[in-house]
A and B are shown apart, each in its own frame.
Chain A
Amino acid sequence: MQSRFASGKPEKKGVPLSSFTNYSLARSLNTRGDMSRLIATRRLASNFFVSKLATRTFCNDAPAKLSTVPHSSQSNKELEDEQGFTNDVPQYDIAIVGGGMVGMALACSIASMPLTKQLSIAIIDSNPALTNGSSIKKDDPPDPRVSTVTPATISLFKGIGAWQYVEQHRHAYFDRMQVWDYTGFGYTRYNARDADKDVLGCVVENKVLHKSLLSCLQNKDFKKTIYPTRLLSMSLPTRSSVSAAGASQSSTSTKSLANLAKLELSDGTNLYAKLVVGADGSKSHVRELAGIKTTGWNYSQSAVICTVEHPAENFCAWQRFLPAGPIALLPIGDNFSNIVWTMSPKEASNHKIMNEDDFVKAVNHALDFGYGPHPESWVFGGNVLSSFFRPDVTSSANEGFELPPKVVKLASQRMAFPLSLMHANQYTSKRVVLIGDAAHTVHPLAGQGVNMGYGDVASLSNVIADGVAVGSDIGEVTLLKKYEADRKTANIAMMAVLDGFQKAYSVDFGPLNILRAAAFNGANVFAPLKKNIISYASGERRLPFLS
C-alpha cells in the first residue's frame, strides 16, 4: 500500500505472468476431460464445507453461531449448488443479456479459454435464430446488414475457432481501399501492402458472423443455457442488502444470493448471476436498469443500406464523401457489393421507395461524376509532394485514381435507419458490464462499430480470465474497471475520429474543402502516416500517429 512511482523497468521477475494474459498461448493448452475434473472439484468443495462445519463447532468463534442450520440440510443445499441451482433458482457465473454478434462472441471467447471455460453462462435473447438451428444457404441473396471486420477482429474469430465457419459462407477479403470526395480535390488509396499486410479487412454478412459464432459455441464442451425470452427487471446487490444478508442468521446459500445480481425474465423465470453482461444493443435494457447514463447526439442523417450486383467481382472498398454524407461500396463476395449511403432523413426515405432502376442510376451517379468532378492528384500538387517525399512515397501513391465498378442491379431490399452517436458514461458497475453497442454506438462510417464491440469482447474475456487466475470475484468492480480503462480510451478515440470525419464533411465551405483535400493528399503520399492510419483502422493500434 505504498506507492513507488514507476521506474520504467520491465515488469518481469522470472514469473511467467504474461502467459496468464496471453490469449493464444492460453488457448493452445485446451485440455479435454476438464468437465470431469470440474465435477470432482465441486464434490471436494462440498466435502470441505462439511469438514469446516465440524471444525467450526469446536472452535468457539462467534461466527460459528451464523450457521444454525443443521448439517444435513446444509449439505443438501450444497448438493443443489453442484448443479448450479439453489432452491430451484438457477445460478450462473455470467448472464449475457443479448445473444447478438457481440454477446455470442463473448460466450465463445469465454468458452475457448482454459481459465474461463469452466464458467457457467446463461444467454438471454428472444431471437429464435439462437434455438431453432436454421442454416444459411449458400445461394441465398446477400443480406444488406454486413460488417467490415478488421484484421484484429479476424484474429479474435480465429482464436475462438469461429473463423472456419465464416469461411464456409460468403465473405470477401479486400486489400485495397479508395477514399475520395466530391470536390475533386483529393483522394487516398490504401493498399494492404502499405502496412505489410495481406488484407485490409473482410466484409461478412451479419447473419453469417452470428451463425458462425453459434455453430462455434454449439461445438464446444461448455456449460451454457439459452433463455429464449427477454429481460424484465434486474436487481443488483447494494451495500445495505448485502449487509442485511451478512447480518441475517440465514444459511450460506441464501446469503450468497443476496450478493448476486437477480434477473427476472418475461417468461417468469428468475436467475442469479455473478456478472451480468449487457450486450443488448444501443437501446440496452441492462444499461437502463443499472442506471448508467449516456452521452450522445443524433446526426440528423440516415443511412440507406442494400446489396447491389456488378457485372464482375469487386475486390476493393470504396468510399466517397458527398455533400450530404459518405457513400460506401463494400465487396461482399460473388458479384455483390454492399452499399451504405448516408444522407438526410428525407432523402433517405425517397431513396428507399424510388423504383429500382432510378436507385441504381442514383448510386452510379453518386459514385461517379455526381456532385463534382473526379479528383486529379495534380490539382493539389500531388506530384510535387510525392517527389518531395520520394523516399517515403508509398507504393499505392503511384496508383492513379480509379472509378468503382458500375452497379447493374439491386439485389436486396433497401433499409433506412437514423444515425446517432452514443457513449455510456460508465461501462461497469458492481456485477454489471456493458459491451458493444450497449456501451457505444457510432456513425457507420469506416465500418468500425462492430469492431469496437469485438474489441470489447477480447478485452473483457481477458480481464475475466485474469480475474479467475488470481481468484477474484468476477463481478467485482475493481476487476471490471480494468476492462473499462482498457476499452474506454480506445473507443472514445475511435468515436472522436469518426465524429470528426462526420463533422468535417457536414460543412461545404471552400477553405475547409481545401484542408480536407490536403489531408487526403498528405495521407496518400506520406507513407508513415498511411501506415499508421491503416494500423489504427485495422484495430491494431490504440491511438493513431503516436507510434
Chain B
Amino acid sequence: MFHTMFSRSLYQLQKLSRRNDLSLHNSSTKFKHAVLAAFQPILHTRPYANNPQPAASASSVDQAELAKFAAIAESWWDAEGPFKPLHVMNPTRLTFIRSTLCRHFGKDPFSARPFEGLKFIDVGCGGGILSEPLARMGASVTGIDAVEKNIKIAQVHADLDPVASSIEYRCTTAENLVEEQMKFDAVLALEVIEHVANPAGFCKSLSALTVPNGATIVSTINRSMRAYATAIIAAEYILHWLPKGTHQWSSFLTPEELVLTLQRASISVEEMAGFAYDPLTGQWSLTDDIGVNFIAFGIKKQ
C-alpha cells in the first residue's frame, strides 16, 4: 500500500517538476508544492538516480532558471514564510544535536565552532536548513536530497554566506553514497525516515555511511494517537502548517521500532528526546516525552 502511495506522490512530483511554469512568486498553492517537495525528500527503494532526471539538467541552467530558484530560496528561507514551522523548530533540534555530538566527540560545548574537523552528512537536506547551522558550527557538511529543486534552493542560499558556501550539496540518495563508499563522522537524517518506503534498508544505508564509533541521529514522528491528532489533524488540517497529505500516520515509527531497526543496522541508540510545542510562546523545547516528535542519537558499533 505504501508503495502505491509513494509511487503516486513521486509521479505527481515529477509531473510538477517537469512543468516549467513554476513561478512561485505569489501563488500559495505553488508554495505548497514546494513544501510537498521538501517533505518528500528520499525514496529509498526507488533511487531517483535510476529515473530520468525530472528537473532541468545541469547543462541547461540559464539565468531565468537561476532567478526562479533564487526566488523560491528566499521564500523557503523566509522565517515568516510557508516554512515557518520548520524554522521555529530548527534551533531545538540543533540543541540536541549539539549537546549529544559535543559529548560524543569530546568537543568543548562552549566553543562557537565545536565540530571543527568533523565530516557530517545531512540526508534529506531540503533547502539546507540544518546543513547551514552545522557548517557554522564548524562541521564539514555534505547535504544530499533526492529532489533536485531542493538542492538548487540550498545551493543558492548557501552562496549568500561564505561559511555556508563550504557545504557540498548533491542531488543523490544515501545508498548512492554507500556505493561510492563515502564515510562520515556523523550521519543525520531528520524528519526523513517517515517518508521512506523501506526504513530498515534506509537505516542500513545510514549505518554504512557512518564511520565505526561515529554518530547517527534520526528524528521522526511516533505512531501514536497523539501524533495522529497533532501531527496530522492539527498541523495539516487545522493549523495548515503543512500541506494535507504530507504525512501518512501508518508510515510513522514508534521509538521502539526505530531503536530496533537501528540496532539491526549495528547502531546502538544512546539517547532520545522528544519535542514539545508551547502554543503560548510559539517555541519548541526538548522534553522526556517522546509521544509525538522525537529524536534519537546512536553510535555505530565498531
* A residues in contact (CB < 8 Å) with B: 1-7, 9-17, 19-20, 26, 29, 31, 37, 41, 44-45, 48-49, 52, 55-56, 59-66, 78, 81, 114-116, 118, 239, 242-247, 249, 252-253, 255-256, 258-259, 466-473, 476-479, 482, 485
Report B4-22 residues with CB < 8 Å from chain A CB: none
Interface centre among A14, A114, A476 (most CB of B within 10 A): A14
12 pairs of residues in contact across A and B, judged by CB atoms under 8 Å:
A2-B232, A3-B277, A6-B279, A13-B96, A15-B286, A55-B168, A81-B162, A243-B67, A469-B98, A472-B133, A473-B161, A477-B79
- Indicate if the CB atoms of B289 and A7 lie closer than 8 Å: yes
Q: Is B123 an interface residue (CB 8 A)?
A: no
Known: A246-B70, A247-B67. A4 touches B155 (CB 8 A): no
- Closest residue of chain B to A238 (Cβ to Cβ) is B74
The 5 closest A-B pairs by CB, nearest first: A471-B133, A2-B231, A246-B70, A63-B155, A470-B94
Alpha-carbon gap, A45 to B241, bound state (A): 36
Q: Are A6 and B276 in contact (CB under 8 A)?
A: yes
B91, A466: Cβ atoms closer than 8 Å: yes
Please give, as numbers and ranges, the residues of chain B lying within 8 Å of A473 by CB-CB distance: 132, 136, 161
Query: Is B292 an interface residue when CB atoms closer than 8 A count as contact?
Result: yes
Choose one: A45, A249, A470, A485; the contact of B133 (CB below 8 Å): A470
Q: In whole Å, how far is B236's beta carbon from the nearest beta carbon of chain A?
A: 9
Given A2-B235, A12-B286, A41-B113, residue A62 in contact with residue B161 (CB < 8 A): no
- Which one of B156, B166, B292 has the highest number of Cβ atoms from chain A below 10 Å of its Cβ? B166
Interface SS of chain B: mixed
- Return the contact of A2 from the options B56, B71, B292 (Cβ within 8 A): B292
Chain A residues closer than 8 Å to B276, beta-carbon distance: 4, 6-7, 9, 11
Give the contact stretch, choosing among B198-206, B256-264, B266-274.
B266-274
Residues of A within 8 A of B69 (CB): 246-247
Inter-chain contacts of B135 with A (CB < 8 A)? 471
Do B166 and A17 touch across chains, with their CB atoms under 8 A apart? no
Q: Could you tell me if B273 and A258 are in contact, using CB atoms closer than 8 angstroms?
A: no
Question: Given contacts A2-B230, A19-B109, A41-B113, are A9 and B78 in contact (CB under 8 A)?
Answer: no
Asked, given contacts A15-B96, A41-B113, whether A4 binds B288 with beta carbons under 8 Å apart, the answer is no
**Of residues A5, A16, A20, A66, which shows the largest number of chain B Cβ atoms within 10 Å of its Cβ?**
A5
Residues A13 and B286 in contact, CB atoms below 8 Å apart: yes
Q: How far is the CB of A89 from chain B (nearest CB, A)?
A: 14
User: CB distance A4 to B292 under 8 Å?
Assistant: yes
B207 to chain A, nearest CB (A): 23
Complex CA distance for A377 and B41, rounded to whole angstroms: 74
- A14: contacting residue among B151, B168, B271, B293, CB under 8 A: B271
B195 at the interface (CB under 8 A from A): no
Instruction: Note all chain B residues with C-beta closer than 8 A to A49.
Output: 162, 165-166
Q: Are B152 and A9 in contact (CB under 8 A)?
A: no
CB distance from B247 to the nearest CB of A (A): 8
Closest to A25 in B: B110
Q: Which residues of the other chain, A, contact B108 by a CB distance below 8 angstroms? A: 31
Smallest distance from the beta carbon of B43 to chain A beta carbons, Å?
Answer: 19
